[in-house]
Structure 1
Amino acid sequence: MRFISRLARSAAALSALALSASFTPSLAAEDAVVIPPPALDVSSADGTQTAVFAGGCFWGVQGVFQHTAGVLNAVSGYSGGSQATANYTAISTGATGHAEAVEIKYNPKQISYGQLLQIFFSVVHDPTQLNRQGPDVGTQYRSAIFTVNDEQKKVADAYIAQLDAARVYKKPIVTKVGPLDGFYAAEAYHQDYLTLHPTQPYIVYNDLPKIENLKKLFPKDYLTKPTLVSSARATN
């Protein structure tokens, strides 16, 4: 859906937030799921590594990984389509093949690919929702893992099979795993959006609970101060 449509839903989200606060002890739009770590992980490597995940609106996905220790940078963008249509207006039609995605640069000595996957499946989104995530509907909001090499694909496929076999979710995982053909950074106004707009109703209801879930379920991996795109650019 278009940017303006998402903002238009903020008033409804705010009303829902107030209602949920009256009846439940948690403001979370979705509860995180406690899941086991992957039995198989990517072998240790030197130097900065890359992971690309899609799990609904990239504001929340980016925000979670910006609060994750070992992540050097997390950029909102588009994957799954061509460079020619890698812009928000085009991908909002749902016809470009793109998904809203986040490119994560991380230090494998601090956090592994498997640990990133565990956070992705547990905290970031609901991997059983097909072509949607919460209030956002369309293929651009699909759950997807874009792998940069065969080992990542092997680990991601094995983890999905492991979680399905353990039946940690009520429904099967629909996350698609496929090779990364390209990642295109989103417009500047989408970067660091969660941090820059913490009181926006959409963020308050849909995304801030994810940060709290990260802090609660992965306290050793939680960073109080996020690693922002703006700060990463400033140091380059």
Structure 2
Amino acid sequence: MTRLSATLAGAVLLLAVSGCQQPAIAAESVVNAPQAKRIARESGLKTAIFAGGCFWGVEAVFSHVKGVKSAVSGYHGGTERQADYKLVSSGVTDHAEVVKITYDPKVIRYDQLLRILFSVVADPTQLNRQGPDTGAQYRMAIVPMSAEQNTVAKAYIAQLKAAKLWSKPIVTRIERAQAFYPAETYHQDFMLKNPRHGYIVRWDAPKVKALKAMYPGVYSASFQRD
């Protein structure tokens, strides 16, 4: 995709991009997901991998969370040879756009990251799409990096299903950890470097604002970096 049709303040802007697809449906709704009943027990710096649509927004949200040391956009679920934006965005590979998060569980726990993921990042009822983007590469998925994360993720999804917060079934996948391949340099810190980009303004900036409003205790105004 080389061009993006973005609706901003009632006007349609045509913007040259090499990123995510054109808006086709309403933005994901913000949901106040409950605290997890099962608390993650971790120590030392840990890694989490989440897929929640276009990685620009996922990375932007988690980069504003206290305790997150880094958030790297990339690809997961396919081969290194095919871990290329053009191939992945065509939908012919098994990759998902993901973000690899390094975090300090003394500051932010894994279950709290999951709560943010389901509350403001992605709609767990959408199958192989998020927001304006369609295709399996935009699926919502959790990739546990340990047995503890796997247990916590399964318990939290079960908790959310029982809570019936959404009118449609939750289809979020838990996927086996495979190799992570960082995305191209121009995708990294995309919102930080392109705050006025049409896609960012329309789809991703509202997610960061929702994070600040809903979870002010974990929100950081600056991007978290070592």
Q: TM-score normalized by structure 2?
A: 0.90
- Report the Cα distance in structure 2 between the residues aligned to 1:190 and 1:36, rounded to whole angstroms: 31
Aligned equivalent of 1:25: none
Of 194, 197, 204 in structure 1, the residue corresponding to residue 194 of structure 2 is 197
Letter in 1 for 2:8: L
Aligned equivalent of 1:132: 129
Of 8, 14, 25 in structure 1, the residue corresponding to residue 4 of structure 2 is 8
1:214-235 C-alpha deviation (Å, 9 max, x unpaired): 001000000001125xxx4xxx
Q: Residue 103 of structure 1 aligns to a residue in which SS?
A: strand
Distance 1:44 1:94, change over 3 A: same
- Report the Cα distance in structure 2 between the residues aligned to 1:104 and 1:131, rounded to whole angstroms: 22
Of 26, 30, 33 in structure 2, the residue corresponding to residue 32 of structure 1 is 30
Aligned equivalent of 2:87: 90
Distance 1:55 1:16, change over 3 A: farther
| 1:149–1:179 contact (8 Å) kept in structure 2 | no
Shift of 1:33: 0.2
Shift of 1:15: 5.6
Q: Are positions 1:43 and 2:44 aligned together?
A: no
Q: Residue 75 of structure 1 aligns to a residue in which SS?
A: strand
- Report the Cα distance in structure 1 between the residues aligned to 2:4 and 2:57, rounded to whole angstroms: 18
State the percentage of identical aligned residues: 50
Q: Are positions 1:110 and 2:107 aligned together?
A: yes
Aligned equivalent of 1:73: 70
The structure with the greater share of residues assigned to helix is 1
- Report the Cα distance in structure 1 between the residues aligned to 2:117 and 2:56, rounded to whole angstroms: 14
Shift of 1:14: 2.4
Tell me the C-alpha RMSD between the 2 structures: 1.5
Shift of 1:143: 0.4
Shift of 1:160: 0.6
Aligned equivalent of 1:171: 168
Paired residues, what number? Answer: 213
Q: TM-score normalized by structure 1?
A: 0.86
1:187-209 C-alpha deviation (Å, 9 max, x unpaired): 00000001111111111010000
| 2:29–2:123 contact (8 Å) kept in structure 1 | no
Aligned equivalent of 2:20: none
